[in-house]
Amino acid sequence: MYSLKNKVVFITGASSGIGRSCARAFAGTGARLILAARRLQRLEDLAVELKRKPGEDILLLAVDVRDQPAVERAVNGLPVEWAAIDVLVNNAGLSRGLDKLHEGKLDDWEEMIDVNIKGLLYISRAVIPGMVKRGGGHVINIGSIAGHEVYPGGNVYCATKFAVDALSKGMRLDLSGTGLRVSQVSPGMVETEFSLVRFRGDSERAGKVYQGLTPLSPDDIADAVVYCATRPSHVNISEMIVMPTDQASATLVHRK
């Protein structure tokens, strides 16, 4: 098994859901954590929960992944003892709305494309060159079943996750021979703030998404992410598609 003890793990979108669960799971491996999100207070609360001291064994970054200069400043400005990132978990992402394409809101499209595709690219562009220089590192992208199958109303969100799938494959090709690993973990339905964000705070509508079925928990996905990161260094898990037992495909869900 690949030991993560004292390795530097950088997680985007660590203030909630899958990213927060990844932070907890990686903390259990003895890794040092760089946690990024816009909501700094949430990250500070998480550092307290994990009993870690910001700056010492955990580093918190308030950054909007859509802001390329800010991303570059944050990564290039890391203190020297934090600069050698071993594992990057590209998790920050969101969906907005479930409108038919011809009725879609342009702002929703822009936000999903800016965060899910461009944000992932900005972070990757800032972090991966250092890994290449050091001859090692692991990029783990959070894709989705929505990156393999399109569902009604999913249009642009699905397109962004298809793009993440293409970027994961592209990274693996371009990084061949560098010693870096690239994995993608693609979940089905996970109960997080995802649907609340998609429906802009409408908790009744968000709750209905998971009604009558047992969704995945964000800890289930963190478990898969840590599994990828702890394989021996000659093993690259290209992709894990993780579905709830109650969900057979993007469109077929069993509800009691």
250 binds, options ligand 8X3, ligand NDP, none, Cβ within 5 to 8 A by partner type: ligand 8X3
Work out the angle at residue 115's Cα, subtended by the Cα atoms of residues 24 and 139, and round it to the nearest 5 degrees: 50
Q: Which residues of the chain form contacts with ligand 8X3 (CB under 6 A)?
A: 144-146, 154, 161, 189, 250
Closest CA to 172 of 160, 185, 183, 163: 183
**Nearest approach, Cβ of 133 to ligand NDP (angstroms)?**
26
Q: Which of 7, 13, 34, 246 binds ligand NDP (CB under 6 A)?
A: 13
**Nearest approach, Cβ of 53 to ligand NDP (angstroms)?**
21
For residues 106 and 85, the answer to whether their CB atoms sit within 8 Å is no
**Nearest approach, Cβ of 192 to ligand 8X3 (angstroms)?**
9
Is 85 near ligand NDP (CB under 6 A)?
Answer: no
Is 29 near ligand NDP (CB under 6 A)?
Answer: no
- Three-class secondary structure assignment of the chain: CCCCCCCEEEEECCCCHHHHHHHHHHHCCCCEEEEEECCHHHHHHHHHHCCCCECCCEEEEECCCCCHHHHHHHHHCCCHHHCCCCEEEECCCCCCCCCCHHHCCHHHHHHHHHHHHHHHHHHHHHHHHHHHHHCCEEEEEECCHHHCCCCCCCHHHHHHHHHHHHHHHHHHHHCCCCCEEEEEEEECCECCCHHHHHCCCCHHHHHHHCCCCCCECHHHHHHHHHHHHCCCCCCCCCEEEECCCCECCCCCECCC
Is 15 near ligand NDP (CB under 6 A)?
Answer: yes
151 as an active site residue: the answer is no
Q: Which of 8, 16, 109, 250 binds ligand NDP (CB under 6 A)?
A: 16
Number of chain residues interacting with ligand NDP (CB under 6 A) = 31
Distance CA 47, CA 61 (A): 12
Tell which phi-psi region holds residue 194, choosing left (phi > 0), alpha (psi between -120 and 50) or beta: alpha
CB-nearer residue toward ligand NDP: 29 or 144: 144
Is 169 near ligand NDP (CB under 6 A)?
Answer: no
Is 65 near ligand NDP (CB under 6 A)?
Answer: yes
Which stretch in 71-79, 129-137, 167-175, 182-190 sits in contact with ligand NDP by CB under 6 A?
A: 182-190
Which stretch in 51-59, 102-110, 131-139, 184-192 sits in contact with ligand NDP by CB under 6 A?
A: 184-192
Q: Which of 46, 189, 224, 253 binds ligand NDP (CB under 6 A)?
A: 189
**Nearest approach, Cβ of 129 to ligand 8X3 (angstroms)?**
29
CB-nearer residue toward ligand 8X3: 57 or 114: 114
Question: Which are the catalytic amino acids?
Answer: 157
Interaction site with ligand NDP (CB under 6 A): 12-19, 37-39, 42, 64-66, 91-94, 115, 119, 142, 144, 187, 189-190, 192-194, 197, 218
